[in-house]
Amino acid sequence: MITTQDLFNIVGNKISNEMGKSIIRNSFPPQIAEQMCNAIDCNEEAELLQKLSEWQESQKRQQQAIQSFLQQYYNR
């Protein structure tokens, strides 16, 4: 489940990543900086997809639990 804290963490990581990329762009030649920034972006995207996958799995378990409860409740 994605909590409010998770959303704050996502925003905080985004800000941190953007600051890091800014430092990289100012410290390295453009071609190297671009590759490093692309790696940061890919990592950020992978983390978000993982969080989404976890949320979807949580939703699926909740739905199954509700369906199981309703079946037991109405099949008495």
Q: What is the C-alpha to C-alpha distance for residues 49 and 44, in angstroms, rounded to an integer?
A: 9
Residue 6: what residue type?
D
Residues of the chain with pLDDT under 70: 1, 76
Decide: pTM greater than 0.95: no
- pLDDT for 1: 67
Best CA proximity match to 43, nearest among 2, 1, 13, 22: 13
pLDDT at res. 61: 94
